[in-house]
Amino acid sequence: MVTPLLAAEDVRKVYAGGTQALRGVSLAVGPGTVHGLIGANGAGKSTLIKIVSGVEPATGGTLRWRGEPAAWDSPAGALAAGLATVHQHTPLVGSLSVLDNVFLGTQTRLRWDAGAREAELARLCERVGYTLDARRQVDTLSVGARQMVAILQALTRDPALVLLDEPTAALSPTERAVLFAAIRRLRGQGTAFIYVSHFLDEILELTDQLTVLRDGRVVADRPTAGMSKPDLVTAIVGARLAAVEEPPEPAARQGEPLLEVAGLGSPGRFGPVDLTVRAGEVVGLAGLLGSGRTELLEAIFGTDRSATGVVRVAGRALSGHSPRAGVRAGLALVPEDRARQGLLRDWSLTRNVSLPYLPSLSWRRLLPDRRREEEIADRAVADLGIVTGSTEAPVGSLSGGNAQKVVFAKWLYGPAKVFLLDEPSAGVDVGAKADIIGLIRRLAAAGKAVLIVASEFEELLGACDRVLVLRRGRLTAQRRAADTSLHELTALASGL
């Protein structure tokens, strides 16, 4: 019998206050295998990842590494043993180059020898089949490219086990294919992976073994072969996925145009673009990474000062391109990268929810009205089903799905008429995804206009009335969601 590379035996975790995050979790990862770890938000995945990677200790149970007991007191200890972790939001240094980030923290001669580092980076890029400009500053890269930098950073240590936490949440289909090919090549060379993902198709396609957590317990631990998507959904959240898959009801509720875009463009990014979204309508933007989809939403909202063209909200043209003008007119933006752009992670839920409209919640626009802020926070928790021990808890302590609900909640209790949603369900489990799709439909039912970008075209088909196809910065096609398919959208977005 092959000794597992990593084994967790009856691992438990109880936090201060009595919260039981893990209730006796056991799993074993064999060398040269890809082991899937899945479960709803709050199931215990993040806690197990932190324990395995040395971020925090377990309350009870045992970890074994290559058959021997292991107790890492820091991520550096786990890394030294041969276990590297790529987190969903890897803290790269945006002001440094790709080269500097990839080799950040290395203690070998490569730390100082720029030529040797460039040669090694080229070798790593060839190994994974993805090319990056060594000299380019990281904060100028797309979210997907930054994720690839983090993966290359992990590979510099030549680890025996790589823990990938939602590695494809921000990747395009092409980048996913590159990553999957790299994982398979490395697996063939003996490297093992723990692969955490909310994309069940990925789990079924890529993994050899899978473990499903629910409420801090293992509810399934078996070979992936023979498992079906319905089996996984049942193990995770049961019938809640149906809310994502059901098509929207006929959009007889649509009213007057709330968002009108005419000749909007940004040099080298996209355009010109013309589009209209009516009250009560959900319109999707289907485009691959690099199509200009995020840039278009940002220009509508006003963050792109170089944009030209006209944006009208409820018939009135915005005076200039600025977020302040957009918010005043009734625009709301839920950004792609919620950790960097959508939330202040160290601030409480209460302060995050009240932030966009703080002047109107303040006495003479100077002193915040704490009671009103708390009332709105309590309302958001009740309306959206946000799971938190306290509205004063920092949003950084919430699960991905609950944090995303807070990003929505920021805009729900003000004058927003038009919601611009960029990957609103990225990195959340199928249950939270169903909640978010339901929220989008409720916004439309309340007479709001919604423009949504999603890499997973299934989400657009499940949430939208119409889908616009964006390719190389231009709108190339339009379809009623009820009259198209995943295959057609993929073909149109790819230029096939």
Question: Does residue 315 sit within a domain?
Answer: yes
273 shares a domain with 150: no
* CATH number reported for the structural domain that contains residue 49 in this entry: 3.40.50.300
For the chain, percent of residues with pLDDT exceeding 90: 32
Question: Does residue 252 sit within a domain?
Answer: no
186 shares a domain with 325: no
Domain boundary among 219, 243, 267: 243
Strand segments (E) across 175-269: 192-196, 209-214, 217-223, 257-266
- pLDDT tens column, 276-323: 999 999 999 998 767 888 899 999 999 888 899 999 999 999 887 788
The model's pTM:
0.57
206 shares a domain with 289: no
Strand segments (E) across 33-173: 34-39, 60-65, 68-70, 83-86, 161-165
- Contact call for residues 6 and 52 (beta carbons, < 8 A): yes
What is the reported pLDDT for 311? 94
477 shares a domain with 391: yes
90 shares a domain with 62: yes
Question: Rounded to whole angstroms, how far apart are CA atoms 443 and 425?
Answer: 16
- pLDDT tens column, 322-359: 888 888 899 988 887 666 666 777 788 887 877 766 66
Question: Rounded to whole angstroms, how far apart are CA atoms 195 and 293?
Answer: 28
Q: Which domain holds residue 180?
A: 6-243
> What's the number of domains the chain is made of?
2
Q: Which residues contact 126 (CB under 8 A, 6 or more apart)?
A: none
277 shares a domain with 128: no
236 shares a domain with 184: yes
Question: Rounded to whole angstroms, how far apart are CA atoms 439 and 454?
Answer: 15
222 shares a domain with 353: no
What is the reported pLDDT for 240? 44
At what angle are helices 173-188 and 114-128 packed, to 10 degrees?
A: 100
What is the reported pLDDT for 413? 79
Nearest to 49 by CA among 167, 151, 194, 176: 194
Question: Rounded to whole angstroms, how far apart are CA atoms 125 and 128?
Answer: 5
Q: Which two tokens stand for residue 281?
A: 């309508």
What is the reported pLDDT for 63? 94
Question: Does residue 251 sit within a domain?
Answer: no
Q: How many CB atoms lie within 10 A of CB 188?
A: 9
- Contact call for residues 166 and 179 (beta carbons, < 8 A): no
What is the reported pLDDT for 214? 84
Half-sphere exposure (CA, 13 Å, Cβ side) for 309?
23
146 shares a domain with 291: no
Question: Rounded to whole angstroms, how far apart are CA atoms 456 and 458?
Answer: 5
Question: Does residue 250 sit within a domain?
Answer: no
Question: Rounded to whole angstroms, how far apart are CA atoms 469 and 495?
Answer: 10
Q: Give the residue ranges of the chain where pLDDT is below 50.
A: 238-245, 250-252
What is the reported pLDDT for 18? 67
294 shares a domain with 175: no
Question: Does residue 249 sit within a domain?
Answer: no
* Cis amide prior to 272 (ω within 30 degrees): yes
Q: What share of the chain is helix, strand, coil (3-state, %, to 5)?
A: 40, 25, 35
Domain boundary among 243, 278, 294: 243
Question: Does residue 409 sit within a domain?
Answer: yes
315 shares a domain with 221: no
- pLDDT tens column, 174-206: 777 878 888 898 898 889 999 998 777 888 999
355 shares a domain with 393: yes
